[in-house]
Structure 1
Amino acid sequence: MLMALAARPVAAQVDTAAAAVSAPVVAPRAPLVVGAYAQGSIILAHTYAIRHLVASHPTGFELNFQRQTTGSAPWHGWYKYPKVGVALTYYDFHNPVLGYVWSASPYISKSFSRGPKHDFSFRLGAGLAYLSNPYNQDTNHKNTIASSALNATLQFRFEYDYALTPHLGLLAGVGLNHYSNGATTKPNFGVNLPSVVLGLNYHEQRHAPQTNAHAPAPAELCHNFFNFSTSLGFKQRTEGDRHKYLVNSVTAAVGRRVNRKSNLLAGVEGFYDRSLQAQLEDTTRAGLTQPDVKKVGAFVGHELLFGRLAFVSHLGFYVYAPYKSSTAYYERLGLKYHFTNLLFGAIDLKIHRGAADVIEFKVGARL
């Protein structure tokens, strides 16, 4: 009897230890970082059509909120615990033709070097922007940068944060802000603002504990898959033609998860751009046969993976294009999100030789 009673605490300790071993590792709470920065820029004259606007030095202010990842998802450890956040930015162009711009940009920030008192990182973000003075043929015809108030924005930035106190950091950075409507309306030459940044960061906890540094590889590593998708977009043909023409595409691709961070893809797709039909009707002599405006392309691509989110880049070549309306190749940059293991959505910018062609809104399935 005494031996049985003595064995019970030992058994309880063994059960408790086993439970502790089998319990999943819980990641610590992601601490908040709040930043406030001043920005100074120049307007980059990337095309002759906007050189008349390169006469001022835009200045701006940014407020951002970011979280330091701590290992709650496997990809946190794969990317050495990046920060994710959203930036709210205001720019004054100091030019009555251009006015000002407000933007909101979700972003991810990847550290290259992180120490007790410093953090050197690269930031990539994309979002939406509101321009106060878009092109108007009657009242603001000099603004060839953008002809719509709503635009897309891209941000690239190198940042260096130096700890002044355990919670306060001095941040300096250099980067580029881009605003464009993706040729949804014209003119749309877009604007590029190389910028210098200086400000302060408040760190709720500068060196947060991190878990799952060696998270296991995903189950689909080295597995093949198939993507099938369709998209639509709208574009304006010329400044004089205010009609928005529908652009469709269908895509079939095969892909492979080659490592923890990347998918490689190859596929074919068909395009139907109705603005090309309108262009042909304006330029083809009466009685002549018009070429087919439909196009077929073959592409290779890469997806940089962040959990359910992916940054997409494609390079394609037209293998069927009777109407030679553009270059023989095209590029695509975009963001893709998997709502489930089967269904995904994406927003892509299709490009011809650096010039935006159309913004595509895509839905698809992965098999």
Structure 2
Amino acid sequence: MMWKFTLFVLLLFYGRCLPAQDTTDLWKKARLNPNLGRHKFIELKLHGGTHLYTGDELKNALNDGYKSLELRMGWQSTGEKEWQRVFNYPSYGIGFYTGDIGNPTILGNPSGVYGFFYAPFHRRKRNHFEAGLSLGITYDLNPYDSTTNPLNDAIGSKLDAYVNFGITGVLKVSNSFDFLYGIDLTHFSNGRTHTPNLGLNMAGLNIGVRYHYNTIRGIVKQQIDPTYEAARRPTFITTQVPPLQRYHEISLYGAFGVVQASSDEKLEAFYGTASLILGYDYRFSHKSSVGIGLDGFYDGSLGWTYQKRYGEVRPSDKMLMGTHLAYVLNIKRFQVRAEVGTYVWKRDNEKGDYFMRLAIRYNIAKYGFLQLGLKTVNGAASDWIEWGGGGKVRW
């Protein structure tokens, strides 16, 4: 219906080529659609909490916790698409934040931009909850410098990745406003592209307000029908989601990355990394897949490490092999992949006993994909960022 209304407006303003009776009839039909227009919202949030810091040098700088302000603009889905009904009418959009994360002389005054996705659950008449994921970049950090900023053992670059997970309660106050309350976890990291890179993890509470509006409200009242009130909130389409045809999928994924040696070595050299993964996934529901895979890794920085430790380096010393288990959340063309694995071959315990991968995959047509991921060491410590893509076969 939205494209029909858009066509109607274009004809009305630029052509004036339809008879008056036709335009009147078309408008009468268009306004019967309860989801005419585009339902959006503006959201303002205040955050506060504490640092989950595992280092030593920044303890005093982080004593007062963190505070931040976020401004978000979102689009509310109606259930018109099948995947929107699967995820209980999600919303998505873009956001900006600025914060005080501690001593600004040491840590800087970070701000950031990101995209976000809310998946609602436990819907009630006036209150529901949303699981939220935000991914973007944060900038204006004050990175480690051995001379001017030696205490910052958490951040090695001015530009870092921004990741936020949260659970938000949404209380409907009026047709236009919601009151928001929730908990969240925020992570800053550059994926060891610069060192040191302990990263910053912040856990806390947030409150806010959300304002709903419809983008056609003003133009319709001014130019077409002054009596028309566009709905600020959508009427959800409740057509039943058809059963999923389950399937199997094999993929081959290749990626590269760049890392810096430990800042303790006083080196500024950068080293290449590579990943090659053969994976198998089984799609068992509209939302979820599970999988297994074989992983091959190359880390050029191990050459420096092993040369210093053993006095000699073989080409195979920079390589590792592993295997992983995966859970995959499928959102239209996107996948959020969470994988945990262990090594089956390595020279020593430099890379720990297990690794994790958090990745975003975008499926291109039927046989290809692009993927951006973060590989870790023994849990949350960043190893490197994987930039890559691959192909897949489904049956």
Shorter-chain TM-score category?
A: 0.7 to 0.9
Which of the numbers 324, 333, 343 marks the counterpart of 1:318? Answer: 343
Q: How does 1:203-218 map to 2 (within 5 A)?
A: 203-204=212-213, 205=231, 207-211=233-237, 213-218=239-244
Which of the numbers 307, 311, 323 marks the counterpart of 1:298? Answer: 323
SS in 1 for 2:58: helix
CA offset digits 1:139-158 (Å, max 9, x no partner): 11111121101111111222
Same amino acid, percent of matched pairs:
24
Alignment pair present for 1:352 and 2:381: no
Partner of 2:91: 83
Normalised TM-score (structure 1): 0.86
Partner of 2:207: 198
**1:222, 1:127 → 2: CA distance?**
33
Corresponding letter in the other structure for 2:385: I
Contact 1:74/1:212 (<8 A) preserved? no
**1:30, 1:119 → 2: CA distance?**
22
SS in 1 for 2:174: coil
**1:364, 1:139 → 2: CA distance?**
43
Instruction: Please report the RMSD computed on the Cα atoms of aligned residues, expressed in angstroms.
Output: 2.2
Which of the numbers 215, 223, 228 marks the counterpart of 2:252? Answer: 228
**1:212, 1:227 → 2: CA distance?**
34
Partner of 2:311: 285
Alignment pair present for 1:246 and 2:272: yes
Contact 1:70/1:81 (<8 A) preserved? yes
SS in 1 for 2:85: helix
Shifted more, 319-328 versus 135-144: the winner is 319-328
CA offset digits 1:208-234 (Å, max 9, x no partner): 11225422244xx32212101100011
Unaligned runs of 5+ in 2: 1-32, 214-230
Unaligned runs of 5+ in 1: 1-24
CA offset digits 1:114-161 (Å, max 9, x no partner): 333323222122221113311122211111121101111111222222
Q: 1:198 and 1:226, CA in 2 relative to 1: closer, same or farther beyond 3 A?
A: same
**1:104, 1:90 → 2: CA distance?**
9
**1:181, 1:92 → 2: CA distance?**
19
SS in 2 for 1:254: strand
Partner of 1:327: 352
Corresponding letter in the other structure for 2:195: K
**1:159, 1:254 → 2: CA distance?**
34
**2:354, 2:143 → 1: CA distance?**
30
**2:110, 2:47 → 1: CA distance?**
13
Work out the number of aligned pairs and report it.
340
Which of the numbers 172, 178, 185 marks the counterpart of 1:169? Answer: 178
**1:156, 1:215 → 2: CA distance?**
27
The alpha-carbon deviation at position 245 of structure 1 amounts to 0.7
**1:322, 1:105 → 2: CA distance?**
39
Which of the numbers 260, 265, 286 marks the counterpart of 2:291? Answer: 265
Corresponding letter in the other structure for 2:65: H
**1:274, 1:193 → 2: CA distance?**
31
Normalised TM-score (structure 2): 0.80
Which of the numbers 130, 133, 136 marks the counterpart of 2:142? Answer: 133
Which of the numbers 72, 75, 80 marks the counterpart of 1:67? Answer: 75
Corresponding letter in the other structure for 2:326: G
SS in 2 for 1:114: coil
Contact 1:293/1:323 (<8 A) preserved? no
Partner of 2:50: 42
CA offset digits 1:284-324 (Å, max 9, x no partner): 236x8786221111122121000101110111221121343
Q: How does 1:7-18 map to 2 (within 5 A)?
A: none
